[in-house]
Amino acid sequence: MYKVIAIFGTRPEAIKMAPVIQELKKHHHIETKIIVTAQHREMLDQVLEYFDIVPDYDLNIMKVNQTLVGVTTAIMQELEALLIQEKPNMILVHGDTTTAFTSAMTAYYHQISVAHVEAGLRTNNKYSPFPEEANRQLIGVLADLHFAPTNQAKQNLLEEGKPLETIIVTGNTSIDALMKTVNDDYRHPLIDSIRQKQRRMILLTAHRRENFGESMQNIFMATRDLVEAYDDIEVVFPVHLNPLIKQLAKQVLGDLSRVHLIPPLDVIDFHNFLGQSYLVLTDSGGIQEEAPSLGVPVLVMRDTTERPEGVEVGTLKLVGCHRETIVAETSRLLDDLELYKRMASASNPYGDGQASIRIVNKILESALSNQND
């Protein structure tokens, strides 16, 4: 029997891999196993519970104040023994995390085929985002199958010399996940309170390593400026678990009644908060795909994006991490209804909700080829 092992360790990976795993489980002639590294423990478990995914192995590598080197070495040491034991035909990794890169490298050392979900995204600046851009490029060197979400991602891979027959344009599995989580009847006390006061909700997310320090200070100070300038907005910030972010957010924003510093939301809450937001301020990656699918404009607080398709069609705008620029660009969206409507109604370039089916069909093709060999 053809054996596939899906490996992931963070909440975004889990959200985007969940629809693929559910689709794989429909095919009984493929043995599907799941390994989680728990690179981010608390956030990961929320997703596993919602999608009813039970890992076969949990490496539980998360440590206090862990470094990238520590995460990398821990995963490689733990994963190697499991790959030797399970002898999979293929491993399936997602995106640009340290888990994904390290798993691909470990599989390569054992000559196990690597399939890369969400392949081909590029900024071509190895330090932006850090370490994700380098992780993604290095996985691309090792991968045998590249599941590219867009034609632009496919073109990036072709320009790097990847064989055409190894690249499959699938759409992004984040859209598949949204179709399972967003509910028109969703209610939450915080959202109800903001609505009752007839205020616009801005969803803020900020956690990128390259933004630690001055850039994160700028993001939070810009948020403060906006709340003080506009009486009709409230900001909801699900604060990342990193202690540095929590401390700075409380210091800069903690005294503002219209800024809600809340714990990380589970997947169903987060997607529905996203869908009911007026706009999004973020330095994240996946939100750049999810929000446009829900008609929500996104201002990306980074200097680069590996998702340029959204910028090109007008659903996203790069605003960097300068305090004045963030305030100015957000103010434009808050003040100019026509500009807002253009961004909110721009077409979503990231897929139709069928990405998981396309991915699994290609894996089935690989399984059949393996049997014929």
> From CA 227, how far away is CA 330, in angstroms rounded?
11
**Cis amide bond preceding 129, omega within 30:** yes
Which residues lie closer than 8 Å to 76 by C-beta, 6 or more apart? 102, 105, 106
Sheet holding 90-94, edge to edge: 57-58, 30-36, 2-8, 90-94, 113-117, 145-148, 167-169
Contact between 268 and 198 (Cβ < 8 Å): no
Nearest to 238 by CA among 216, 279, 208, 207: 207
Token pair for 4: 């596939």
Query: Facing residues of 280 across strands?
Result: 203, 298
Active-site residue set: 96, 118, 132, 207, 209, 240
H/E run at residue 14: helix 11-24
DSSP string, 68-82: HHHHHHHHHHHHHHH
Taking the CA atoms of the chain, what radius of gyration do you get in angstroms?
20
Burial profile 258-277: b = 16 or more Cβ within 10 angstroms, e = fewer? bbbbeebbbbbbbbbbbbbb
> From CA 224, how far away is CA 252, in angstroms rounded?
8
